[in-house]
Amino acid sequence: MGFVPPQVMNSAFERSLEGISSAGSSASSTSISAAVGSSVLSTLGSKKVFVGGFWVLSSALLTTYSTTKFLKYEDKPHELGDRSDFLSRVKKASSDASSSNQDTQRIPTMSRPALLTLYRFAGSLLLGIVIGRPFSAILDRIRMTKALLPAFALPASFLFCANFCNSVALDKIGISLTYTSKCGIPLITVLITLLLDGTNALPSTPALLSLIPIALGIGAASWNHPTFEPVGFAAAIVSCVAQASLNVTSKKAMMRTASCGVDAQRTMVALALCITTVTTLLVNAIRGLGEEQVLKREKTHQKGSKLSTMPPGWLTSLAVAAYHVEYVFSFMFVRIVEPITYGTCDAIRRLAIIVSGQQMFGGEPFTKLNVAGIALSLLGALSFAINK
């Protein structure tokens, strides 16, 4: 920002006071508050520590809670226990659903992970268009989103894949094993960066070596006798690769288009929503699943993801809002840091998810190996920051 002469600043300030005064005291208070709020948000939005910290906390607390509750929701409230307890409740819920007339509460052609993905993208797109300053610029935001669509086509496909596969993995194998499988994101990010930009884009050797204890530490922290399921594990691996690819390609697209994180996120969820809708329609058309087939799968395929009732509106709204907040800050953060730094912070975020998930939904208490894994990951992150 260049130097502004005091005379110009005073003149502009006086004109702004005159405009505020003519609008009345109420408008004056609103304008000043909006200006102060805008200035604060703009300042905080450029701070790496604030943006990254809020991204990690919102993901570990709000998103973890709302996503898990949405995927595991049943009509009778109870605490989530171990995997065997959950499977027995799914079987009982399916049996009760078939004996009672709850046809109007089921969506027979869409699994719970697919439904969550659809709600997330649709809700986040709506929030991204409506929420913003000024409110009257909705049409401008729509036009900007449309103009950015070609540039973000590839990152949007990775966004869809990462979100959908992550929901499948969480539903089938739970929090610990899902995020244990995805602890390789920093390493995959390094490989992608190496392939795209060459060795010059990589950090120092000590910084790269510090990624190893981060990955090993997260694995040790979540190693709590996880239940292995082939489809769920494969979904976690695919989500891991897609997320790393998203980190790199989204940053390149934002740099190329000079767009901010909010605009990028809005554009990508718009494209991801289209991908989700088309994919769902194609899958349903190919499979031709009717309600009787779905109910049969609920009873016989114990590791399936279709439950008997729909989550309530408040839980759906919380899941959508948590997702929107997390990803807005995620894309703000990826724009102001290097992809490998983002991937490392993402590894710490996943560690926080494992810890918070264990605290919120129970499970086996942490062992000495878990505690050692947490310490190892934190030391690895500190080592990376110092060497970077």
pLDDT at 123: 93
Give the range among 8-12, 39-43, 248-252, 311-315 with minimum mean pLDDT: 8-12
Q: How many domains does the chain have?
A: 1
pLDDT at 315: 92
pLDDT at 99: 44
Does a structural domain hold residue 192? Answer: yes
Give the residue numbers spanning the domain of 159: 60-67+110-387
Q: Is residue 232 scored above 70 in pLDDT?
A: yes
Q: Is residue 89 scored above 60 in pLDDT?
A: no
Does a structural domain hold residue 53? Answer: no
- Kindly report, residue by residue over 105-115, the tens digit of the pLDDT: 444 457 889 89
Find out whether the peptide bond into 134 is cis, omega within 30 degrees of 0: yes
**What is the full DSSP assignment across 204-259?**
-HHHHHTHHHHHHHHHHHH-S-----HHHHHHHHHHHHHHHHHHHHHHHHHHHHT-
Q: Please name the residues in contact with 196: beta carbons below 8 A apart, sequence gap of 6 or more.
A: 248
Q: Whole-angstrom Cα distance, residue 345 to residue 93? A: 39
pLDDT at 119: 93
**pTM over 0.85, yes/no:** no
Does a structural domain hold residue 34? Answer: no
Burial class (CB within 10 angstroms; exposed 0-12, middle 13-18, buried 19+) of 271: buried
pLDDT at 257: 92
Does a structural domain hold residue 15? Answer: no
Q: Please name the residues in contact with 263: beta carbons below 8 A apart, sequence gap of 6 or more.
A: 141, 144, 145, 148
Does a structural domain hold residue 263? Answer: yes
Ramachandran region, residue 154 (left: φ > 0; alpha: ψ -120 to 50; beta: rest): alpha
Give the range among 1-5, 234-238, 270-274 with minimum mean pLDDT: 1-5
Task: Please give the average per-residue pLDDT across 318-327, as a whole number.
Answer: 92
Does a structural domain hold residue 101? Answer: no
Does a structural domain hold residue 43? Answer: no
Does a structural domain hold residue 253? Answer: yes
